[in-house]
Amino acid sequence: MHIAIIMDGNGRWALRKRLPRTFGHRAGADAVNKVVEAAARRRIGTLTLYAFSQANWQRPTAEVSGLFALFKRHLQTQTSRCIEQSIRLNVIGRRDRLSPDLVALIESSERATAHGTGMRLRIAVDYSAQHSLIEVCRRARPGADLDRSRFLERLAEVDHSTSSTPEVDLLIRTGGEQRLSDFLLWECAYSELHFVDCLWPDFTARDLDEALAEYASRHRTFGALESHG
């Protein structure tokens, strides 16, 4: 099973508590650790987290710098935990706009966890699904026989995905908003959508279980007629 999460609401969580937005991002990082462990215990095959979108570059420079500093610390402290739990880590998205030291750290974490046989954890950083789809088309040779399988291979290359990824079964978004925000548009073509009002730092393993229970209650036909036989 592939679960994707749009982790929305860190800043609002902090503002409601009359704290700087950076406190919200730190609380959000703590929530990431808890949810990753919960998903691994529930034997989720792939978990993709939307950490930093292409649009997030428009935020104040100080906030962006703080987010990347937090991400660096997260990689430094959590890579060993991923190894212990046999979790394979992969950062997807553009890397040409990231600092060289961050790119080196990402590549180091990916190599260190490459032999993990448990859950695959993907973190989307400087990610835009529209950019990825356009880039696949741009790189395609004129007249190339680009079938669905080959397209997915090219998409994985563009996103720096370590291997082709199954389509998303369940997309969860916290924070009360009900949109995809340029996240995994191809992979979410047939995903079930689950929107919750709680802000990301307040999202718990119990909320994950509720999302999974709702997903299990839905009947999926993928456009076919229901079988009554």
**What is residue 202's predicted lDDT score, i.e. its pLDDT?**
97
Higher pLDDT, 211 or 219: 211
Q: Name the amino acid, one letter, at 161.
A: S
Pair type for strands 46-53 and 88-92: unpaired
What pTM was estimated for this model as a whole? 0.93
The distance of Cα 39 from the centroid of its chain, to the nearest Å, equals 13
pLDDT in tens, 83-103: 999 999 999 999 999 999 999
With 90 as the cut, is the pLDDT of residue 107 above it? yes
- Within a domain: residue 228? no
Residue 56 is among the residues annotated as catalytic for this protein: yes
With 70 as the cut, is the pLDDT of residue 228 above it? no
The answer to whether 7 and 74 have CB atoms below 8 angstroms apart is no
Q: Name the amino acid, one letter, at 71.
A: F
- Within a domain: residue 227? no
pLDDT in tens, 108-138: 999 999 999 999 999 999 999 999 999 998 8
- Within a domain: residue 104? yes
**What is residue 221's predicted lDDT score, i.e. its pLDDT?**
63
- Within a domain: residue 226? no
21: CB partners within 8 A, 6+ apart: 10, 11, 14, 15, 63
- Within a domain: residue 17? yes
Residue-number span of the structural domain to which 110 is assigned: 2-217
Domain count, the chain: 1
Q: Pick from 118, 36, 34, 26: which is nearest to 69 by CA?
A: 26
- Within a domain: residue 189? yes
The distance of Cα 138 from the centroid of its chain, to the nearest Å, equals 24
Among residues 30, 33, 56, 182, the one annotated as catalytic is 56
Q: Sheet containing 88-92: give its strands across.
A: 88-92, 120-127, 46-53, 2-6, 170-173, 192-195
- Within a domain: residue 176? yes
- Within a domain: residue 229? no
CATH number at residue 199: 3.40.1180.10
Among residues 8, 126, 169, 207, the one annotated as catalytic is 8
Q: Name the amino acid, one letter, at 52.
A: F
